[in-house]
């Protein structure tokens, strides 16, 4: 099976307007920001910080536009400070969030790693999400397919996946159905906007 099944399905939920594109999107597609006490723009990846939210589509293009055009200050209606490494910080926070969620799933017995274990889960229809490292061998990765009706995540590095499983590196992993799997898919969809180009290829980190 191909990986077209990686398109995200959404339930009806809250929507907000992106300050960069002017388009309205589900909050799961956006990054929330708030203005800190010192006037600095802070990314609220978890969506829990107090203050009026400023929303930007979770893509590198939208975030770069918001920074370059001074759109945060316009939305906040005040002078603000935007960190030079804002986008890099958001990328790191989202990646860390996914690593932590996958690690929790592993500890609960709802995630496995390693080619043979993942292959076995796929064969038994136990896997609902296939994760493969962006820097892994394409030949090796092509031997495993996205589960029927499931999702594919391929923009975490082998090092990041390894952190989730307590290993130096991991190329193949799978998640079973459940709440954590859905949360991983949602967070990964936001990270994808920062890491995957329009051509479908993973960007090099920092690019």
Q: What are the angstrom distances between the C-alpha of 165 and each of 36, 102, 141, 201?
A: 34, 8, 18, 25
On whether the CB atoms of residues 202 and 154 are closer than 8 A, the answer is yes
Q: Which of 92, 93, 113 is nearest to 102 (CA)?
A: 113
- What class does CATH assign to 15-83? alpha beta
Q: Identify the pLDDT of residue 179.
A: 78
Q: Identify the pLDDT of residue 12.
A: 56
Instruction: With H, G, I as helix, E, B as strand and everything else as coil, classify residue 31.
Output: strand
User: What's the CA gap between 156 and 72, in Å, rounded?
Assistant: 29
On whether the CB atoms of residues 36 and 11 are closer than 8 A, the answer is no
Please report, in angstroms and rounded to a whole number, the separation of the first and last CA atoms in the chain: 31
pLDDT per residue as tens, the chain (207 positions): 344 333 444 455 799 999 999 999 999 999 999 999 999 999 999 889 999 999 999 999 999 999 999 999 999 999 999 999 999 999 999 999 999 999 999 999 999 999 999 999 999 999 999 999 999 999 999 999 999 999 999 999 999 999 999 999 999 999 999 879 999 999 999 999 999 865 556 654 544
Domain 89-195 fold is: 60s Ribosomal Protein L30; Chain: A; (3.30.1330)
Residue ranges per structural domain of the chain: 15-83, 89-195
Q: Identify the pLDDT of residue 25.
A: 95
Burial pattern 41-75, b for ≥16 Cβ within 10 A else e, equals bbbbbeeeeeeebbbbbbbbebbebbbeeebbbeb
């Amino acid at each position: 099976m191909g990986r077209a099944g990686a398109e995200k399905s959404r339930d009806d939920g809250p929507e907000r307007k992106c300050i960069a594109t002017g388009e309205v999107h589900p909050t799961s597609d956006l990054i929330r920001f708030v203005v800190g006490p010192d006037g600095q723009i802070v990314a609220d990846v978890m969506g829990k910080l107090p203050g009026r939210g400023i929303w930007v589509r979770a893509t590198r293009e939208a975030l770069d536009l918001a920074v370059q055009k001074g759109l945060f200050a316009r939305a906040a209606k005040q002078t603000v400070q935007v960190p030079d490494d804002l986008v890099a910080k958001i990328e790191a926070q989202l990646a860390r969030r996914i690593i932590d969620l996958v690690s929790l799933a592993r500890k609960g017995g709802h995630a496995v790693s390693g080619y043979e274990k993942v292959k076995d889960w796929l064969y038994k229809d136990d896997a609902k999400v296939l994760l493969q490292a962006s820097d892994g061998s394409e030949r090796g990765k092509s031997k495993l397919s996205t589960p029927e009706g499931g999702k594919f995540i391929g923009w975490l590095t082998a090092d990041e996946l390894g952190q989730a499983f307590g290993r130096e590196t991991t190329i193949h992993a799978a998640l079973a159905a459940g709440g954590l799997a859905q949360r991983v898919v949602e967070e990964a969809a936001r990270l994808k906007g920062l890491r995957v180009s329009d051509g479908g290829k993973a960007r090099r980190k920092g690019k």
